Structure 1
């Protein structure tokens, strides 16, 4: 039996992933604000420390996989705190617990939005590990009026962090495949209002085209997560896998970068 930590486990992709892994016989440590084995706020330093302590208490400091999935989609500074700094802290904080596994695995959630224009200052502050500057910049963006930079920037920065770190001694050198999925529009409570009207669906489709089977259920992303944290995944390193019904292909054509 493998032990997998799943953040954002109380809803959406995280909930579907937890259910799928448990149905396959894995032990899942769910992490969320509420209704979870470890209830913490990953937007705060205290919450990130409590995550590591809580998982350590429940597992004896030994796990087999990390699914750093918790995230927000709102254009507010909190989104940067959770999506980037919370995800990185989860991966780095729990990485030592993978040392005892015969097949350690780690994965996080990026987004097709990582392809959209980010705010360069916000991304660079994040990659520099300067959360205070990043949060100040996110606040400036909000105060500047309706824009859509914070969410794409959080996922752009996370994808770049992943690419930089996956091949390092700490990850690949320790036998840990570190990768990400990048979903398109997922049918969850987070998107229900947005997709609740014909006008809303048309608006979403205009900037997130998904020609293959349309909007996707959370279970589709969960199935990909399940393989990425399985022993079968032996050589995927630093990949951001777009599970988006074709959005990436439509937006970037035949470019692979």
Structure 2
């Protein structure tokens, strides 16, 4: 069954590959980007996001089956925070009515492995508070400090993964039958990473931050195919997740225990029982 997709960032990288795969299998794709797509839109401004969503909705005939939000930047400037967070969240909110008209609406976004790296809490908090003015001011100050400029990107991705967890179970999304999930790539070979991976120094630094024991650096199709599955009819219950498609980097960095954060609440309850089991 052919579906109608809106893909942001469709002119390059993961977004372009996603659009190509969908088109090749017979789906209708409405790409959103600055140029060379069906909808030319600037997702760095509130006006641009609304206008892009309105045009995409018009081209889709008012009903959209899925939105895949890939548009993003990684440069150490305030616009990275703006596009990576508000360019996704506000665009998706503007697309929600068109999605709600579908019989099987779905949403997926691109987060990043970088969401687990050090962040500036003030920027993350401003983004999650939907305070674009404050977020821009904080990111501007960060960009002026060599120690913090490169932290804009992971902060924006931490915020987007937290937004997904916060919003996915809400009445606006889950209540309307719309699963919302994100994919966190490892190091993807795209125009965004070409310069970084061109030198031995760049590759060594990248691999130190994002160790990928399974098959090394990945092509954009590895992410595109997962984004597409998350927005397929088959995904009926996966919601609020950031799925790490990263060659094992998440596991290397966080280890095998992501459950013990909750152990303290049950430690006293089961202490006596546990002691008996050890006798």
Question: For residue 175 of structure 1, what is the aligned residue in structure 2?
Answer: 177
Map residues 1-257 of structure 1 onto 2, 5 A cutoff.
1-147=2-148, 148-256=150-258
Q: Residue by residue, what CA displacement relative to the aligned partner does 1:180-228 show, whole Å, maximum 9, x if unpaired?
A: 0000110001111111122221111111101100000001111101111
Q: Residue by residue, what CA displacement relative to the aligned partner does 1:70-115 show, whole Å, maximum 9, x if unpaired?
A: 0001111000000001100121110110122111100111000000
Structure 1 portions without partners, runs of 5+: none
TM-score when normalising by structure 1: 0.98
Q: Residues of 2 paired with 1:255 and 1:11: CA distance?
A: 36
Q: Residues of 2 paired with 1:168 and 1:219: CA distance?
A: 30
Structure 2 portions without partners, runs of 5+: 260-279
Q: Size of the alignment, in residue pairs? A: 257
- Give the CA deviation at 1:68: 1.0
What is the root-mean-square deviation of aligned Cα atoms in Å?
1.0
- Give the CA deviation at 1:39: 0.5
Whether the aligned pair in 1 keeps the contact of 2:100 and 2:178 (CA below 8 Å) is: no
Q: Which of structures 1 and 2 has the bigger CA Rg?
A: 2
Q: Residues of 2 paired with 1:205 and 1:145: CA distance?
A: 21
Q: Residues of 2 paired with 1:93 and 1:194: CA distance?
A: 34
Secondary structure class of the residue paired with 1:193: helix
TM-score when normalising by structure 2: 0.90
Q: Residues of 1 paired with 2:192 and 2:240: CA distance?
A: 27
Secondary structure class of the residue paired with 2:118: coil
Q: Residues of 1 paired with 2:199 and 2:145: CA distance?
A: 28
